[in-house]
Amino acid sequence: MDYFFIGDPELVTAFRFVGIKGIAVVNAEEATAAFQRITEGWDETAGTVLPDIEGCRILILTEEVADWLGELLIQWQLSDRYPLIVEIPGMMGRLSGRKHLVDTIREVIGIHV
């Protein structure tokens, strides 16, 4: 399995329809526990992971889950280890204050069309 998802129960079900396993979380404590289970289950030296997330190379999170994880998520992203993290909007759409990827790229390269 290349992908794994952490987010709203409804989105977990939707991802399962396309063959992506996931864990439903409803608060910061559950999100932290699920994230730690996935990331701490990865053993880079042995090249193995927990049985139910074996082969997870990309972890998909909703923006809300990413906010709940806060500094823990930032530290993981800076660690240069698998799984890579991808954030998507949740059931209620984009969280306020979040930039779109296109806006971020435009800001970095300085081109606005």
Which pLDDT tens digit goes with each residue over 12-28?
999 999 999 999 999 99
pLDDT, mean of residues 67-85: 89
pLDDT, mean of residues 49-68: 78
User: What does the block give as tokens for 59?
Assistant: 């972890």
pLDDT, mean of residues 29-52: 70
Interstrand relation of 58-62 and 22-24 (parallel, antiparallel or unpaired): unpaired
Cα(78)–Cα(55) distance, rounded to whole angstroms?
A: 21
pLDDT, mean of residues 29-33: 93
Q: Is the pLDDT of residue 45 over 70?
A: no
Q: Residues with Cβ < 8 Å from 46, sequence gap 6 or more?
A: none
pLDDT, mean of residues 51-62: 76
Cα(54)–Cα(78) distance, rounded to whole angstroms?
A: 22
Q: What is the DSSP string of the chain?
A: --EEEEE-HHHHHHHHHTT--EEE--SHHHHHHHHHHHHHT-BTTTTB--GGGTT--EEEEEHHHHHHHTHHHHHHHHTT-SSEEEEE-BTTBSPTTPPPHHHHHHHHHT---
Q: Which range has the top average pLDDT, 50-59, 64-73, 84-93?
A: 64-73
- Give the architecture (CATH level 2) of 3-109: 3-Layer(aba) Sandwich (3.40)
Q: Which range has the top average pLDDT, 1-5, 93-97, 100-104?
A: 1-5
Return the pLDDT at 49: 44
